Amino acid sequence: MNTLSSTTLSLVSMTDVFLETAIGCVDAFFGKQCERSTDWEVVERLDGRFDLILTMGSANNIYQGILAVGIDRASIPAFVGEKVTEFEAKDIFGEFANNYCAMLMDKALFNARFGILHQSLPVLYSNGQPFLPFISGVQGRVYIGSSWMYIGFAIQKGALLSSRDVNGGI
């Protein structure tokens, strides 16, 4: 990254916010303590190579964001506590994504810079790799023992939307 945008610079300064939110969300949602990892960083493009990857868009009238939650099938029981079907994993990690976004929006530093982003429905990919074209994203992993879950969040200024567009016509 040669020339960093103000959005990218904001992400660099908030990397710990994304990590702390991930740790807090794993604890609150799964009831599990996870280990800090040192691989949280700003990247040019989010990773998308996992057995299961869930994406969830979010937007307000200025910014568009995307959350990616990736996990290998072998790591799911460490987080969930038991073996689950792919359908159940979609539901569980979709709810995790909703909670992560809500907790992120509640962080003063994130909220002051980007505001509240309205979430879309999560989409699960398996046996495929979504293209995550956003520039400037924060990504990293959280660990329970040797099992891990990937979390990435990218955001950029979007086309100006009305509140009607963002809120689904409400």
**What would the pLDDT profile of 108-137 be if each residue is shown by its tens digit?**
999 999 999 998 887 766 665 655 655 679
CATH of 6-159, one of 3.40.50.720, 2.30.42.10, 3.40.50.300, 3.40.1550.10: 3.40.1550.10
Residue-wise pLDDT for 86-106, tens only, equals 889 889 999 999 999 999 999
- Residue 16 pLDDT more than 90? yes
Q: Are 101 and 56 in contact (CB under 8 A)?
A: yes
For position 9, what pLDDT does the model report?
86
Residue-wise pLDDT for 55-91, tens only, equals 899 999 999 999 999 999 999 999 999 889 988 988 9
User: Of the given ranges (93-97, 119-123, 144-148, 166-170), which has the lowest mean pLDDT?
Assistant: 166-170
Average pLDDT value for the chain? 85
For position 169, what pLDDT does the model report?
46
Q: What is the mean pLDDT of residues 29-41?
A: 91
pTM: 0.84
